[in-house]
Amino acid sequence: MNHSNHALPIALPGTHDFILRQFQQACSRRTSTLSLTANENILSDTARTLGQNRHYERYLFNAKAIDGQRYAAEFNGMQIEHFPEVETLKALATQAVQAMFNAPFVEYRVLSGVHCTLSVLAALTKPGNTIVSLAPESGGHFATGPLVRRIGRHSVYCRLTADGQIDLEHFQQVVQSLAAPPSAVLIDHGLTIRAIAISPLRALLDRCGLERTLILYDASHTLGLIAGQAFPNPLDDGADILQGNTHKSMAGPHRALIVTRRADLARSIEQTLSGGLVSSPNLPGLLQLFVTLMETECFGQAYARRMCANSQQLHDALVDIPGWKLHPTDTHLLLLEGEQARQAAQQLNELGIRVNNKQVNGRDCLRFGLQEITRLGITTEDLEALAQIIRNVLNGGANGVDRIRLAHICQRLNQVHYSFDQETCQ
């Protein structure tokens, strides 16, 4: 339940005009705002338009088409409408996923990253089981531990080494301290600047007699890089499940995806979702996801390469700033460590450069993500200018010239690249 103490006008003038005016003013400001947050992206107009079609503001059940009927289907004995055009789009999206991740089984009905984790754990573990996940100070998701405990499982944490790999010695100590072997290990890293090797963890589990312990890899931040072959596929390295939300380096809607090569796990997940964790999976967002997956198959490799190249360019332009330590990166993410990260994030956001601050092992960092401005086609020249603006802020503050330069950069980022939109612009 929400409680707001935000100041409101004593009397709301014509409500229709008031609402529109509020958001028109906000959108006007956002045209001169640039997003470097690591947890968001932007849809193509093609995907957005399909999801905004009023004819698809409908339920979509996991229904079975009736033989000889085109628009009739059955769900739990109930006669409902069938959407053959949606099934066609789903088939094309499924082919794209199977090709990009080299896995035959995909589940689309999960509604978000947290719902995805909930669904996988509910399907593949039992109450009383133990789940090992990354400690928040090592970049693990803040919601994982509470979620695990809420559904009646035990939550314990593992950690990463200084070079960003699983601390196997500590992991073994954690496992040996447990009364029963863990059912699953969830790698839910939110600060992924390096690939985490899964095969050493799999080998350790096998040596400890834990061959049945599942490895679940949450690739919310790197799903688009994996699809674009710019980041290792955890399924190739020993993971049983690849999951993640679809609105970070995967430039889709706020939804999620589950992929696996194991038919038994896919069947358990499908049955659990159908058994009460989802009814209708929100058809508008699902259509947007299908379009995004097809776009990613066509343009994802070029997009992933450009994200990483832009990240490296910004990295190189931000070295040697007094009071700041820049972490090396192999992805679209940058971590800039400094005691003033919180204050710098406030200054950048106020200027119009959207960023987040995070803590890594107790140390304050700025976290930058290059996925959105890459999709908007930022040039190397504009990225160089943006880096200089950021340097000025970190060195003591931006000036009027920086605000003008930022506004000009934002004006040029007005078209979605690496998408089917390009075809309509030719």
CATH number, position 225: 3.40.640.10
Q: Is residue 189 situated within a structural domain?
A: yes
* Domain-ending residue, one of 294, 323, 343: 294
One domain for residues 209 and 354: no
Cα-Cα-Cα-Cα dihedral of 234, 236, 237, 239, to 10°?
60
pTM score > 0.85 for this model?
Answer: yes
Examine residue 85 and state whether it is found in any structural domain, yes or no: yes
Domain boundary among 273, 294, 315: 294
On whether both 340 and 284 belong to a single domain, the answer is: no
376 and 416 Cβ atoms separated by less than 8 Å: yes
Band of residue 379 on the pLDDT scale cut at 50, 70, 90: very high
- Please check whether residues 288 and 376 belong to one and the same domain: no
Same-domain status, 280 and 385: no
Note the pLDDT tens digit of each residue in 198-252. 999 999 999 999 999 999 999 999 999 999 999 999 999 999 999 999 999 999 9
Contact indicator for 231, 242 with CB cutoff of 8 Å: no
Structural domain includes residue 396: yes
Which residue has better confidence, 297 or 280? 297
Out of 52-66, 187-201, 332-346, 381-395, least confident range: 52-66
Q: How many CB atoms lie within 10 A of CB 221?
A: 28
Q: 179 and 302 share a domain?
A: no
Do residue 329 and residue 283 come from a single domain? no
Give the pLDDT of residue 361: 84
Which residue carries 């993410």 as its tokens?
333
| Residue-number span of the structural domain to which 250 is assigned | 54-294
Same-domain check for residues 150 and 250:
yes
Give the residue from 384, 385, 388, 393 showing the smallest Cα distance to 366: 393
Domain contains 36: no
Among 338, 330, 320, CA closest to 370:
330
* H-type alpha helices, 156-262: 168-176, 199-207, 223-227
Instruction: Provide the pLDDT for residue 148.
Output: 98
Using the 3D structure, point to which of 294, 326, 355 is the last residue of a domain.
294
Query: Helix axis angle, 380-394 relative to 283-317, nearest 10°?
Result: 70
Q: How far apart are CA 194 and CA 212, in angstroms?
A: 27
CATH number for 325: 3.90.1150.10
pLDDT tier for residue 425 given thresholds of 50, 70 and 90: very low
Tens of pLDDT, residues 140-195: 999 999 999 999 999 999 999 999 999 999 999 999 999 999 999 999 999 999 99
Are residue 285 and residue 332 in the same domain, yes or no?
Answer: no
Query: Domain for residue 236, yes or no?
Result: yes
Mean pLDDT of 258-281: 96
**Does 208 map to a domain?**
yes
287 and 360 both lie in a single domain: no
The answer as to whether 2 is a domain residue is: no
Residue 206: phi and psi, rounded to 5, are -65, -40
Do residues 263 and 318 share a domain? no
What would the pLDDT profile of 105-128 be if each residue is shown by its tens digit? Answer: 999 999 999 999 999 999 999 999
* Contacts of residue 256, Cβ cutoff 8 Å, sequence gap at least 6: 110, 111, 112, 113, 115, 116, 220, 243, 244, 245, 246
| Shared-domain flag, residues 287 and 337 | no
Q: What is the structure's pLDDT at 11?
A: 56
* 244 and 320 both lie in a single domain: no
Question: Would residue 31 count as lying in a domain?
Answer: no
Confidence band, pLDDT 50/70/90 cuts, at residue 4: low
pLDDT value, residue 282: 94
Number of domains in the chain: 2
State the pLDDT at residue 426.
43
